[in-house]
């Protein structure tokens, strides 16, 4: 029995390794090189997500029917995702690490039971201790010379439901790829009949594409990225052992002390209110240095991403500034999916990393101004518009330098995780869709977690946050008041 600081007890019932089923296709070694997209994230913290499912059945039903089906379908799914059952390795003779699956490799799976109040965990708008979610995600084992790519935890809440926690190595998978794996697992589980002898067919949209050759590195920037990211990490973590060939994840420790976690919903109607306010005031406050087109010609519409991020960012910044008066400078960095921006574009089912970071061109003081939502929305819109025009130009300029320079100047950087386009609330293993999905790893930095609305509200967005308790209280007030009718 293990207990946490928040009085939630976790009883670890089993720890096992789930491997792909024995077959000619799984009895081979599979190696994959890392692309320059992957190399930037070798020592970055894992992405951790928890899916909560209601299950009003006695524990015996869970242990006799649900759990065996989940484990069997996981094994069957891994045969389609062999590299994920392997590890990240750094051969002594090589200047680059590799992903490698060897026969017999598998994914670590924890089976646990918790006495936590399930309905409390499913709540919205009402903050709860940030450390609680940590109980339901597994650790990802990383050593100097080897790192697991994925680990899982299934937790039973007797007579209430269960959760599936997943931790993935960010150098191996971006959010789109890890979500595709979960969807594939759910699809196979849902179609799996008890006592079935053959594996269900994996639907085409979930078939992973692993060929790294489609991502070209014409300037051979991968090795330089390794060196550059190593330099950046050594500045961020000066006390760590920054051995060049180390694969050990750096200590992006969860910030859970005196912090709470909450999820907020923005309906389509809410976003329309934000859009109306932004567009009607588009030209009311001209930033020096804005080009004439972006200043004088309001767009016909604004994306859900621009509206959501600008509104939430300003509420966060004003809440932090309201509690900690000296913190007035903020910045925003986000990652963009580059699958459609490469030349030539790569398949949508590419399973790996295809993200690049971008820092929004907005003045650090804009976030706390009275018209901050307008100013920040214009900055995000300008950045996303340029991405559409220019395609991918990330190999020519990294956001690392800009990010680090802003941090040195005392700018508090805010980021994003997840997406409202992933469709996480449609992932049904056979006992219903999830009641709640949380990105646990947003507590490792000042990050907003994005997903579509759980209630099926077309075009709505959920935003998960972990903030200081006092900051969260003020954020809730600002968030609510900003959506009230004038």
Nearest CA among 142, 133, 62, 112 for reference residue 431: 62
For residue 428, indicate whether it is catalytic. Answer: yes
Q: What is the DSSP letter of 355?
A: E
Cα 279 to Cα 281: distance, rounded to the nearest angstrom: 5
Could you say which DSSP state residue 148 is in?
E
The β-bridge partners of 31 are 100
Distance between CA atoms of residues 253 and 316, nearest Å? 21
Q: What phi and psi, each to the nearest 5 degrees, are found at residue 90? A: -125, 95
d(CA 305, CA 54): 30
What are all long-range contacts of 394-399, with beta carbons under 8 Å and residues at least 24 apart? 394/338, 394/356, 394/357, 395/36, 395/217, 395/219, 395/221, 398/225, 398/228, 398/357, 399/333, 399/356, 399/357, 399/358, 399/359
Give the residues across from 418 on adjacent strands.
Answer: 450
Residue spans of beta strands (DSSP E) within 56-160:
87-89, 98-101, 107-114, 128-129, 146-148, 150-157
Q: Are 361 and 382 in contact, with CB atoms under 8 Å apart?
A: yes
> Which residues, at least 6 apart from 61, have a Cβ–Cβ distance to it below 8 Å?
55
**Of residues 170, 174, 270, 366, which has the active-site annotation?**
170
From the list 117, 290, 337, 428, the catalytic residue is 428
User: What 8-state DSSP symbol labels residue 326?
Assistant: T
Structure tokens at 422: 């992933």
Q: Which residues are catalytic?
A: 170, 428
């Amino acid at each position: 029995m293990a207990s946490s600081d928040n009085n939630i007890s976790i009883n670890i019932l089993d720890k096992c390794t789930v491997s792909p089923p024995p077959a000619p296709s799984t009895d081979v070694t599979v190696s994959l090189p890392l692309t320059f997209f992957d190399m930037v994230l070798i020592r970055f913290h894992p992405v951790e997500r928890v899916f909560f499912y209601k299950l009003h059945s006695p524990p015996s039903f869970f242990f006799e029917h649900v759990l065996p089906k989940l484990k069997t379908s996981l094994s069957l799914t891994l045969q389609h995702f062999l590299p994920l059952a392997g590890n990240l390795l750094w051969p002594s003779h090589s200047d680059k690490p590799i992903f490698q699956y060897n026969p017999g490799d598998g994914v670590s799976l924890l089976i646990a039971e918790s006495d936590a109040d399930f309905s409390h965990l499913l709540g919205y708008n009402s903050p709860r201790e940030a450390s609680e979610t940590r109980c339901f995600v597994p650790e990802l084992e990383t050593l100097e010379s080897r790192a697991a790519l994925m680990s899982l935890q299934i937790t039973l809440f007797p007579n209430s439901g269960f959760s599936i926690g997943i931790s993935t190595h960010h150098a191996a998978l971006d959010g789109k790829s890890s979500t595709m794996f979960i969807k594939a697992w759910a699809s196979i589980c849902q179609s799996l009949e008890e006592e079935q002898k053959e594996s269900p067919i994996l639907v085409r949209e979930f078939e992973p594409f692993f060929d790294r050759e489609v991502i070209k590195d014409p300037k051979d920037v991968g090795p330089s990225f390794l060196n550059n990211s190593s330099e950046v990490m050594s500045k961020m973590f000066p006390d760590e052992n920054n051995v060049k060939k180390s694969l050990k994840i750096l200590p992006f420790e969860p910030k859970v002390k005196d912090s709470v976690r909450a999820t907020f919903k923005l309906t389509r109607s809410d976003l329309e209110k934000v859009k109306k306010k932004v567009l009607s005031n588009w030209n009311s406050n001209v930033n020096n240095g804005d080009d004439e087109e972006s200043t004088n010609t309001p767009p016909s519409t604004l994306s859900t991403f621009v509206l959501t991020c600008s509104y939430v960012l300003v509420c966060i910044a004003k809440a932090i500034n309201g509690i900690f008066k000296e913190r007035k400078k903020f910045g925003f960095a986000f990652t963009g999916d580059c699958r459609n921006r490469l030349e030539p574009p790569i398949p949508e089912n590419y399973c790996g990393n295809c993200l690049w970071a971008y820092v929004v061109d907005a003045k650090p003081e804009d976030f706390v101004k009275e018209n901050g939502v307008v100013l920040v929305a214009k900055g995000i819109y300008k950045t996303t518009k340029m991405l559409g025009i220019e395609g991918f130009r990330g190999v020519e300029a990294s956001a690392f330098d800009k990010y680090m320079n802003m941090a040195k100047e005392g700018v508090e950087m805010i980021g994003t995780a997840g997406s409202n386009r992933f469709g996480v609330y449609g992932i049904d293993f056979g006992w219903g869709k999830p009641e709640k999905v949380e990105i646990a790893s947003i507590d490792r930095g000042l990050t907003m977690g994005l997903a579509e609305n759980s209630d099926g509200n077309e075009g709505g967005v959920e935003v998960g946050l972990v903030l200081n308790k006092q900051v969260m209280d003020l954020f809730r007030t600002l968030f609510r008041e900003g959506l009230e009718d004038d």
